[in-house]
Amino acid sequence: MAAAEIDNSKYFVREIEKNNGCVLRMKQCYIGDVGCVVWDAAIVLAKYLETKTFYDMSIGVNVWSGRTVVELGAGTGVVGLMAATLGAHVIVTDLEDLQSLLNVNIQENQTLIQSGSISAKVLKWGEDVSELLPPPHYIIMADCIYYEQSIGPLVETLKQLSGPETSIICCYEQRTEGVNPEVENKFFELLQRNFIYETIPSDKQDPEFSSPDIHILHIRRKD
């Protein structure tokens, strides 16, 4: 999409500052579904990718450099964009109606991507993932555990897309109202059939961008 075609009246911008001082400028839609805005869990996960677990240039550590990453339920694309700016080769995925927003944000932040790359593809959970194979090094997902009817297809996609070496990083906001606890329980029940997971303690997360209600999991396939 050419810059001249972007209708800025549709969007409002949220800025996320990286540790190096550069700023991701994320366009969000005034009108749209849940994928059209940057949720807190996405920012927590994006900033987690910059923590010393993965990225510490003072000692020459950059886990993301050259790694392949697929983001599920990318929404605005902020987490995938963060990974791309850190040197990963990223495919951000979501439903058809979010592709234009993803591409606008990729275009808006392209100058921050040096050695990495990023592109957007349509993916409906539970459907064919062959275009995204071979399995990536990382699958990342933020706030994807909310619709009861999507939990089964989401876990099925994780099974189809991951390999024995794939690390899945999942960040979600724990919500106590309505059906949310049941949805979370169903996710973990299905997940544990094929995967093991650990919760990342808050002291391993970004010191500013973390919350007791927002959890980060590292997930792997069972042997």
Please enumerate in sequence order all residues whose Cβ is within 8 A of that of 204, keeping only pairs 6 or more positions apart, or say none: 51, 53
3-class DSSP state of 208 = coil
Look at residue 3 and tell me if it is in a domain: no
63 DSSP β-pair partners? none
Give percent of the chain above pLDDT 90: 86
CATH number of the structural domain spanning residue 173 = 3.40.50.150
Whether residue 5 is predicted with pLDDT greater than 60 in this model: the reply is no
DSSP 10: G
For the segment 140-162, what is each residue's pLDDT rounded down to a tens digit? 999 999 889 999 999 999 999 99
The tokens describing 48, both together, are 């987690």
Look at residue 93 and tell me if it is in a domain: yes
CB 169 within 8 A of CB 143: no
DSSP string, 126-175: TS--GGGPSPPSEEEEES----HHHHHHHHHHHHHH--TTPEEEEEEE--
Lowest mean pLDDT among 30-39, 48-57, 122-131: 30-39
Task: Check residue 1 and give its pLDDT.
Answer: 37
Look at residue 1 and tell me if it is in a domain: no
Task: Check residue 29 and give its pLDDT.
Answer: 87
Look at residue 42 and tell me if it is in a domain: yes
Look at residue 184 and tell me if it is in a domain: yes
Look at residue 156 and tell me if it is in a domain: yes
Mean pLDDT for the chain overall: 93
Q: For residue 31, name the pLDDT band (cuts at 50, 70, 90).
A: low
3-class DSSP state of 77 = coil
CB 41 within 8 A of CB 143: yes
What does the pLDDT average to over 121-149?
A: 96
Range of the domain at 37: 8-221
Q: For residue 70, name the pLDDT band (cuts at 50, 70, 90).
A: very high
Look at residue 164 and tell me if it is in a domain: yes
Q: For residue 3, name the pLDDT band (cuts at 50, 70, 90).
A: very low
Count of domains in the chain? 1
For the segment 94-122, what is each residue's pLDDT rounded down to a tens digit? 999 999 999 999 999 999 999 999 999 99
Look at residue 195 and tell me if it is in a domain: yes
Task: Check residue 36 and give its pLDDT.
Answer: 78
Going through the chain in order, the beta strands assigned E by DSSP cover 11-17, 23-29, 55-56, 61-62, 68-72, 89-94, 117-122, 138-142, 167-173, 195-199, 214-221
Task: Check residue 100 and give its pLDDT.
Answer: 94
